[in-house]
């Protein structure tokens, strides 16, 4: 990374850099751990538009002010939120020290569900001047039909998994058919911006930081207005990673914790359940298996989790939720 962190930090923050280390590098950002004369900080270089940057910083500042666990932004000596240096955008955040054994428990996940519920509920009272740029019409059907097409292709390539793929294909087709019949879904697609929720939109285990204060939610770069379904799907994927097995009681506790904080209608819950029952996650796992980007044992464990989840949501007691759709 060809930037003079020391000069930038001194000129804009009056911090003396002692050492720095890139701790994450993606197509959207560089994340740099900076040790300075005033302690540790996190410096982030982002490759996003100014509109998205302003939206992101304003939204996270609002949520943090309402008590959400989000790292605090450090302003420059001129009270600016970010720095333009050599044509690139940077901002500085407090460093959140993680606990020595950062194992995420079920209790942590239930607490996280409450946090997500609070984010969604609070966002109904938050109005950003750039909000319209980060709100798109709900387009589940096309995305789901595209995913089913890809699953059909997987079925031809992976003959050893055909029975498993067939299960998820049948579940996906059922979800699409239910949505086609759902009057609630037709209403949902036409909800105005002010009735949509601000969602993190990239919730996974790598975007959680366990500290003494609780679980911090980090990296809000993809935040947008949407239906809560994708954030909850991310949360349920984290449950699979953390616990390694489907547990109905844990799922019900997470859903209850969420709806306590964000008391959405039965109709909205039913649509979220349908979204969770669709095989988005299974498709990603089949791709990982094909490209060998994760261990086969881990993939098989998560596929079993997805299968049991789907069976519960569509064919077990969980299908009581979908009667409202």
The answer on 254 and 186 residing in a single domain is yes
Residue 202 confidence (pLDDT): 92
The structure's pTM equals 0.89
The answer on 121 and 75 residing in a single domain is no
Residue 101 placed within a domain: no
The answer on 281 and 149 residing in a single domain is yes
Return the CATH number at 60. Answer: 3.30.200.20
pLDDT tens-place string over residues 125-174: 888 887 878 887 778 989 999 999 999 998 888 777 889 999 999 999 99
Please tell me which residue, 312 or 102, carries the higher pLDDT value. Answer: 312
The answer on 161 and 57 residing in a single domain is no
Q: Decide if 65 contacts 47 (C-beta within 8 A).
A: no
Question: 3-class DSSP state for residue 294?
Answer: coil
The answer on 146 and 288 residing in a single domain is yes
Question: 3-class DSSP state for residue 35?
Answer: strand
Q: Using CA atoms, how far apart are residues 88 and 5, in angstroms rounded to an integer?
A: 12
Residue 151 confidence (pLDDT): 94
The answer on 155 and 83 residing in a single domain is no
> In the chain, where does DSSP find H-type helix?
5-13, 50-65, 106-123, 140-157, 162-181, 183-189, 229-243, 248-261, 266-277, 280-291, 296-310
Domain extent, residue 27, equals 5-94
The pLDDT of residue 2 is above 50: no
Residue 217 placed within a domain: yes
Residue 214 placed within a domain: yes
The answer on 233 and 134 residing in a single domain is yes
Average pLDDT over residues 194-222: 89
The answer on 111 and 66 residing in a single domain is no
From the number of C-beta atoms within 10 Å of its C-beta (0-12, 13-18, 19+), residue 302 rates as buried
Please tell me which residue, 172 or 194, carries the higher pLDDT value. Answer: 172
The answer on 110 and 87 residing in a single domain is no
Among 65, 94, 123, the domain-final residue is 94
The pair of structure tokens assigned to 225 is 């207005």
Please tell me which residue, 42 or 101, carries the higher pLDDT value. Answer: 42
Instruction: Give strand pairing partners of 31.
Output: 24, 44
Average pLDDT over residues 277-284: 96
Q: Decide if 144 contacts 175 (C-beta within 8 A).
A: yes
Residue 100 placed within a domain: no
Please tell me which residue, 176 or 188, carries the higher pLDDT value. Answer: 176
Residue 320 confidence (pLDDT): 59
Residue 311 placed within a domain: yes
Domain count, the chain: 2
The answer on 159 and 67 residing in a single domain is no
The pLDDT of residue 323 is above 60: no
Residue 153 placed within a domain: yes
Lowest-confidence range among 13-22, 92-101, 169-178, 211-220?
92-101
The pLDDT of residue 50 is above 70: yes
Residue 148 placed within a domain: yes
Q: Using CA atoms, how far apart are residues 312 and 325, in angstroms rounded to an integer?
A: 17
Return the CATH number at 171. Answer: 3.90.1200.10
Among 63, 94, 125, the domain-final residue is 94
The answer on 17 and 117 residing in a single domain is no
Residue 180 placed within a domain: yes
Q: What is the DSSP string of 152-209?
A: HHHHHH-GGGHHHHHHHHHHHHHHHHHHHH-HHHHHHHT--GGGSEEE-S--SGGGEE
Among 73, 94, 115, the domain-final residue is 94
The answer on 145 and 85 residing in a single domain is no
């Amino acid at each position: 990374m060809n930037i003079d962190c020391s000069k930038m930090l001194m000129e804009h923050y009056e911090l003396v850099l002692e050492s720095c280390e890139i701790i994450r590098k993606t197509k959207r950002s560089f994340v740099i751990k900076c040790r300075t004369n005033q302690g540790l900080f996190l410096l982030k270089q982002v490759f996003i538009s100014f509109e998205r940057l302003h939206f992101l910083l304003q939204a996270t500042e609002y949520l943090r002010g309402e008590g959400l666990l989000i790292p605090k932004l450090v302003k420059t000596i001129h009270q600016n939120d970010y720095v333009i240096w050599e044509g690139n955008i940077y901002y500085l955040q407090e460093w959140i020290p993680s606990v020595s054994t950062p194992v995420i428990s079920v209790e942590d996940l239930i607490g996280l569900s409450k946090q997500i519920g609070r984010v969604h509920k609070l966002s109904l009272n938050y109005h950003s001047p750039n909000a319209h740029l980060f709100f798109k019409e709900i387009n589940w059907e096309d995305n789901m039909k595209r995913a089913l097409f890809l699953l059909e292709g997987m079925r031809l390539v992976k003959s050893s998994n055909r029975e498993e793929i067939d299960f998820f294909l049948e579940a996906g087709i059922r979800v699409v058919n239910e949505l086609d019949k759902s009057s609630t879904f037709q209403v949902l697609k036409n909800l105005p911006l002010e009735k949509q929720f601000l969602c993190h939109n990239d919730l996974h285990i790598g975007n959680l930081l366990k500290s003494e204060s609780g679980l911090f939610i980090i990296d809000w770069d993809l935040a947008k207005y949407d239906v809560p379904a994708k954030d909850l799907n991310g949360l349920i994927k984290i449950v699979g990673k953390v616990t390694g097995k489907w547990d109905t009681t844990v799922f019900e506790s997470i859903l209850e914790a969420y709806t306590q904080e964000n008391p959405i209608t039965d109709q909205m819950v039913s649509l979220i359940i349908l979204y969770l029952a669709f095989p988005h996650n299974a498709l990603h796992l089949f791709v990982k298996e094909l490209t060998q980007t994760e261990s086969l044992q881990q993939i098989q464990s998560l596929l079993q989790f997805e299968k049991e989840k789907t069976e519960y949501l569509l064919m077990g007691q969980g299908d009581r939720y979908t009667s409202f759709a």
